[in-house]
Amino acid sequence: MQQELTKELYDRIKALIADQQESELRTAIEDFHPADIAEILDELSFDQAIYVIKLLDSELTSDILTELDEDIREKVLKNLSSKEIAEEIDELETDDAVDIIGELSELKKAEVISHIEDVEHAKDIVDLLRFDPDTAGGLMGKELVKVQENWTNLTCVKEMRRQASEYDRVHTIYVVDEHDVLKGRLSLKSLLTTSTHTPIKEVYNPKVRSVNIADQDEEIANIMQKYDLFVVPVVDEIGRLVGQITLDDIVDVIKDEAEKDYQLAAGLTDDVEADDSIWELTRARLPWLVLGLFGGMGAASIMGGFGDAFDSHPELFLFTPMIAAMGGNVGVQSSAIIVQALANGNLKGSLWTRLVKELSLSLINALVVSVLIYFFSHLIQGYQTQVSIVVALSLTVVIIVAALIGTFVPLFLNKRGIDPALATGPFITTSNDIFGIFIYFFIAKTMLGF
């Protein structure tokens, strides 16, 4: 049942394209899932891919379009006329249609919409285009099956037959009143197990969780995960059922969110992938490196200010990478825990209890590593007791300060409405490098008096 995407298959398809064996090519490709075909197209040159797309049925190519990588899709759409795009759009469900049209220029958008044949479909799409893509309105599809509460089971089945025949998948049967206000849902079970003359009013389940049209995607993701929902209805300001969001769309939100946090922690802005161009990757990476460089310049300037230490205690300079690295590591650990707790919405307790916990935690960690570094410095490297104490004591202070900064900064950013994930990674390591070096030399100067 499941065909494999092998190198042999790719070679065969490339050969068929070269020989322009149209019908054979069509049979070779047609039976794959659109997601697989998108993967096949990804392996072809751009001209080959366009050739294949123009060969296939628009019903199939429309689904392939939704599966393609955004940058390839952009190029493909540029090679299609507005009328051709409209034909693809005609085949798609509204939420997918909006995703694709949303990527076009304003001019092309209007042209494509004017070419859509099904007027109702075009209206729905225009409606949806108004919403911010990150809200319920932007995520939802208009396709759903709804029945009225004052119908009987029999009317319901008839009406559902009519509605369902238009859609690929029926997730839930919604129950609305005569003004389209969402009242509840009808389970397949009760539809199957009640007599045909029972009014829907008596058998529907009034417990249905809905989201508002303006709700943010992350909020919706949290609700769907918490309550294990496969689909959630969307209502407008006065409770009318206007669409539904399915879990597969939300999976993308959940993944994107997790990946974004990860990328920020690793010092990557923009949503980059390994296959992106060198220019895109540079734009995502270089700003963070320049930030790190400024941090390094700051650390160098601070150390320059304590330059007298070169004469009396040059060995102090051997420990600066260690001090900086430990401050950075602790800061990243602390901030990551906070960022993740904020993302999952399970951060409890006040700021103070949080800081006190972090303080005790970092004190334990600091004591262990400080004892280790003391032994290394004094016993293995043979530096003076006093110098070794300075190194160990500084390490303790640096770890505690780094932990508090790592805890406090993301909480502060979050309070101010800024993405706390910005505070992980290069930002926190760079600032902790500078603080760490300063604390270290300040303690050294105070205790050793150079």
Pick out residues in 109-148 that bind a copy of itself (CB under 8 A).
Answer: none
Q: How far apart are CA 61 and CA 32, in angstroms?
A: 12
**Candidate list 200, 322, 401, 443; residue touching a copy of itself; CB under 8 A:** 322
Q: How far apart are CA 191 and CA 117, in angstroms?
A: 35
Closest CB to a copy of itself among residues 9, 126: 9
Smallest distance from a copy of itself to CB 354, Å: 8
Q: Would you count residue 238 as binding a copy of itself (CB under 8 A)?
A: no
Smallest distance from a copy of itself to CB 289, Å: 6
Q: Would you count residue 208 as binding a copy of itself (CB under 8 A)?
A: yes
Tokens representing residue 408 in the block: 């406090």
**Candidate list 320, 394, 396, 431; residue touching a copy of itself; CB under 8 A:** 320
Smallest distance from a copy of itself to CB 310, Å: 4
Closest CB to a copy of itself among residues 203, 399: 399
Q: How far apart are CA 199 and CA 151, in angstroms?
A: 6
- The window from 19-27, 71-79, 125-133, 268-276 that contacts a copy of itself (CB under 8 A) reads 268-276
- The window from 78-86, 106-114, 127-135, 159-167 that contacts a copy of itself (CB under 8 A) reads 159-167
- The window from 21-29, 76-84, 110-118, 207-215 that contacts a copy of itself (CB under 8 A) reads 207-215
Site for a copy of itself in 275-304 (CB under 8 A): 275, 278, 281-282, 285-286, 288-290, 292-293, 295-297, 299-301, 303-304
Smallest distance from a copy of itself to CB 293, Å: 5
Site for a copy of itself in 8-37 (CB under 8 A): 33, 35
Closest CB to a copy of itself among residues 80, 284: 284
**Complete edge-to-edge strand list for the sheet that includes strand 241-246:** 211-212, 231-235, 241-246
For residue 234, which amino acid is it?
A: V
Smallest distance from a copy of itself to CB 368, Å: 6
Site for a copy of itself in 160-189 (CB under 8 A): 160-161, 164-165, 167, 169-171, 187-189
Q: Would you count residue 5 as binding a copy of itself (CB under 8 A)?
A: no
Q: Which run of H or E residues covers position 97?
A: helix 94-101
Q: How many residues bind a copy of itself (CB under 8 A)?
A: 116
Closest CB to a copy of itself among residues 40, 116: 40
62-67-70 Cα angle (round to 5): 105
Place of tokens 């911010």: 132
Smallest distance from a copy of itself to CB 188, Å: 5
**Complete edge-to-edge strand list for the sheet that includes strand 145-148:** 145-148, 173-176, 182-186
Tokens representing residue 413 in the block: 């950013």
Closest CB to a copy of itself among residues 199, 296: 296
Q: How far apart are CA 68 and CA 46, in angstroms?
A: 13
437-440-441 Cα angle (round to 5): 90
Site for a copy of itself in 339-378 (CB under 8 A): 340-341, 344, 346-348, 354, 357, 360-361, 364-365, 368-369, 372-373, 376
Smallest distance from a copy of itself to CB 205, Å: 11
Smallest distance from a copy of itself to CB 290, Å: 6
Site for a copy of itself in 42-101 (CB under 8 A): 42
Smallest distance from a copy of itself to CB 10, Å: 12
Closest CB to a copy of itself among residues 53, 322: 322
Smallest distance from a copy of itself to CB 360, Å: 6
Q: Would you count residue 1 as binding a copy of itself (CB under 8 A)?
A: yes
Q: How far apart are CA 191 and CA 193, in angstroms?
A: 6
Site for a copy of itself in 368-427 (CB under 8 A): 368-369, 372-373, 376, 381, 399, 424-426
Closest CB to a copy of itself among residues 86, 324: 324
Q: Which run of H or E residues covers position 185?
A: strand 182-186
Q: Which run of H or E residues covers position 201?
A: helix 200-203
Number of alpha helices (DSSP H) and beta strands (DSSP E) in the chain = 22, 6
Closest CB to a copy of itself among residues 21, 282: 282
Closest CB to a copy of itself among residues 115, 260: 260
